[in-house]
Amino acid sequence: MADQEQAALRLQVARLRQEHTDFDAAINAMEMTGCDRLQIQRMKKKKLAIKDKLQDLEDQIIPDITA
């Protein structure tokens, strides 16, 4: 993988980590204020999708090495 491609992936990973953190804070705030449970569940589902994308990108950056 070229250095430029890897740098682009790392930038995308950083953005997704920030977005994941933002969703976490939003979900916590929603739970504290007693928002609709369905809305909270939707936010959690989006947060999980972000985590999955994040894991996929991290796997591309650091490939699995089989011994």
Task: Please give the model's pTM, rounded to 2 decimal places.
Answer: 0.82
Q: Residue 35: left (phi > 0), alpha (psi -120 to 50), or beta?
A: beta
% of the chain with per-residue pLDDT over 90: 72
Each residue of 54-64: pLDDT tens digit?
Answer: 999 988 888 76
3-state secondary structure the chain: CCHHHHHHHHHHHHHHHHHHHHHHHHHHHHHHHCCCHHHHHHHHHHHHHHHHHHHHHHHHHCCCCCC
Torsion angle, CA of 50/32/37/13, rounded to 10 degrees? Answer: 0
Each residue of 10-25: pLDDT tens digit?
Answer: 999 999 999 999 999 9
Cα 40 from Cα 65, distance rounded (Å)? 38
